[in-house]
Amino acid sequence: MISGPSLALALYGPNAISHWRTLLGPTKAYKSKYSHPHCLRARYGLGDTRNGFHGSDSPESAKRELGLVFDGWDTEWWRLQREQEKLPSDQDGKLNPLGF
């Protein structure tokens, strides 16, 4: 799945999956260069199989994939901590300019 250094993110918020996937653009990087030239895959993808980014397609997929990337990730615990404001948040929007 990866061929070099990677940065893994766990995004949280209303419609986080759809917002992230919109920023990524189509899976096929070559096609996205024409259809969505400003998306991340069009700008940074090297090809259709090396498109540079991944975004889960559903909450269920995200839960499974987070468990693979972050060994033992407990999605439910993290969500509850976040909702109860026990985890740091970005009140001023400085760390999260995308709004999710």
Domain residue ranges of the chain, discontinuous segments joined by +: 18-54, 57-85
Question: In which band, very low, low, confident or very high, does the pLDDT at 58 lie, cut at 50, 70 and 90?
Answer: very high
Question: What pLDDT does 56 receive?
Answer: 94
Question: What pLDDT does 41 receive?
Answer: 92
- The 10 Å CB-count burial string (b at 16+, else e) for 76-100 is eeeeeeeeeeeeeeeeeeeeeeeee
**Mean of per-residue pLDDT scores for the chain:** 82
Residues annotated as catalytic are 54
More confident residue, 23 or 46: 23
Average pLDDT over residues 24-33: 89
Most confident range (mean pLDDT) of 4-18, 51-65, 84-98 is 51-65
